[in-house]
Amino acid sequence: MTQTNWNSEAHPARLEERLDDDVVRCHLSPRNCRIRPGQHGFCRVRANRDGRLVTLNYGRSVHATEETIETEAVFHYAPGARILSMGNVGCMLNCDYCHNWKTSQARYVEDKDVHRYTPQEVVDIALRHGIGVISWTYNDPVVWHEFVVETAALAKAAGLVNLYKSAFFITGEAIEELLPVIDIFSVSIKSLDPKYYRRITKGWLEPVLEGTEQVFRAGKHVEVSTLMVTDLSDDEKTARDMAAFVGERLSPDVPTHFVRFHPDYRMTNTVRTPVDRLERARAAALGMGLRHVYLGNVYDTASTDTRCAPCGQLQVTRYGLNADLVGLDAGARCTGCGSPSGLTLLPDARPRERVRELPAGEDLRIAEFAWHGDVRALHVQLRNASAAPARVYTRRYGDQGDHAQDGWEAVDLAPHESFRRIAAKSTPGERGVRVAVPPQCDSTLHQVFDRAHFPTVEAADGTLNGDVSPLPLFRPGTRP
């Protein structure tokens, strides 16, 4: 059967207003695009077909990927939990530094990067792999509204938790449709400067703040983050403005994350955010009364750990995208003073089986990837080409500490299944990752640059700027 282009099938869209002359208005994002027959909106994934609003990306996703909840700037809900990340194509913004521009900017999307899923298939993948949380993430879930709402409802009915990681340039009426099905909102607020929003993101600020307040007032678990872009938004004023918003319009208890930037898309002629600026931003926000302020995309700092606000007891330690509970009891109370931590804990749905040694006598091919430069996470894509179930293995190597004792993690693949999962550096001494697959399976490795980056190229294709920028390189004026 011939595969059609990713955007060739239209699906009825919600939040439609029908105007005269077959024109429609979209009420999904505050842009409220007015779309003539045959045209599309700013996001290029919602269009007018014969006078009706349709979505062109229903069920179109990047590869479903197992990650950890820390990938989504969520630190106070199920630390260390495995999540199933689902990202689609298109976006209602066009940020100059987007690190998912190959999938968020629909004009650059290639069919090879797009996979097809039904709502039931997404839920089945999570259940089969013992994953308790589905994360709607990467480019931005706002422009995947119909698929997210339908699938999240199915997931919820199956006992799964839904996480929504978004820049949240979305209307209040669309949020009302999310509230019954989404449990966790991780909102990326790019800046508190309206001019910055217009210039850098092509959106505007106030709807983002109003939407964040709306989900917080609805009682949802909310965490907020800000990308601290070198020389643009990595100053203490940005941190103080964020602290004022969180403290006054949300609560000082809302976890707030200042996230390190890497050069990407239209902003490759710059450097990563200096870590000392991030630490100063964190100190400024704590000084204004926020109780939990974290840094993101940084290693070897205590600024990613969770401590008890009343007594200072260490409760969760983190390294990169990995977390260990060290000072919480089963009821999420501090083991130091007994105070409620405010964190929500979930029992790990079904931990993966581990083996000390690979099974003797099995014909397994081993691939290896060494951490280098700023590349400290990897997507491992695993494919089972056979009509029978298969077992593959991954492990970290080079560390003399606790994780060296973990051995090989087993991943069971269904017949003909393709599955992606993250491996992230978990201790300073760890040197890399190994993958072992039987003859009927194969694997490809994809370097991850920072949290919630979905890599579209293989590790073998290399990096840019001394390992701080991912390929592909954006060339202004290019059109596929």
Choose the stretch contacting ligand SF4; rule: CB under 6 A; options: 38-46, 254-262, 265-273, 321-329.
Answer: 38-46
Judged by beta carbon, residue 29 or residue 273, the one nearer ligand SF4 is 29
46 scored as a contact of ligand SF4 (CB under 6 A): yes
Contact status, residue 267 vs residue 241, Cβ threshold 8 Å: no
127 three-state secondary structure: helix
Judged by beta carbon, residue 26 or residue 468, the one nearer ligand SF4 is 26
Q: Write the DSSP string, 327-352.
A: SB-TTSBBTTT--B---B----SSPP
Binding mask 102-141 for ligand SF4 (x = CB under 6 A): ----------------------------------------
166 scored as a contact of ligand SF4 (CB under 6 A): no
Residue pointed to by tokens 């006992």: 159
Judged by beta carbon, residue 30 or residue 59, the one nearer ligand SF4 is 30
Q: Count CA within 13 A, CB hemisphere, residue 34.
A: 4
Of the candidates 43, 69, 155, 452, which one interacts with ligand SF4 according to CB under 6 A? 43
Of the candidates 42, 108, 265, 393, which one interacts with ligand SF4 according to CB under 6 A? 42
Of the candidates 24, 28, 323, 433, which one interacts with ligand SF4 according to CB under 6 A? 28
89 scored as a contact of ligand SF4 (CB under 6 A): no
26 scored as a contact of ligand SF4 (CB under 6 A): yes
How many CB atoms neighbour CB 444 within 10 A? 15
Q: Count CA within 13 A, CB hemisphere, residue 445.
A: 24
Judged by beta carbon, residue 53 or residue 187, the one nearer ligand SF4 is 53
Judged by beta carbon, residue 207 or residue 255, the one nearer ligand SF4 is 207
Of the candidates 7, 31, 211, 321, which one interacts with ligand SF4 according to CB under 6 A? 31
Contact status, residue 298 vs residue 275, Cβ threshold 8 Å: yes
Interface size with ligand SF4, residues (CB under 6 A): 12
Judged by beta carbon, residue 17 or residue 461, the one nearer ligand SF4 is 17
Of the candidates 6, 7, 24, 33, which one interacts with ligand SF4 according to CB under 6 A? 33
Burial of 219 (0-12, 13-18, 19+ CB in 10 A): exposed
* Helices marked H in 206-271: 206-217, 236-249
Contact status, residue 146 vs residue 11, Cβ threshold 8 Å: yes
Query: Least Å distance between CB 84 and ligand SF4?
Result: 24
Burial of 162 (0-12, 13-18, 19+ CB in 10 A): buried
Contact status, residue 154 vs residue 86, Cβ threshold 8 Å: no
Of the candidates 6, 7, 24, 29, which one interacts with ligand SF4 according to CB under 6 A? 29
Contact residues: ligand SF4, CB under 6 A: 26, 28-29, 31-33, 41-43, 46, 92, 143
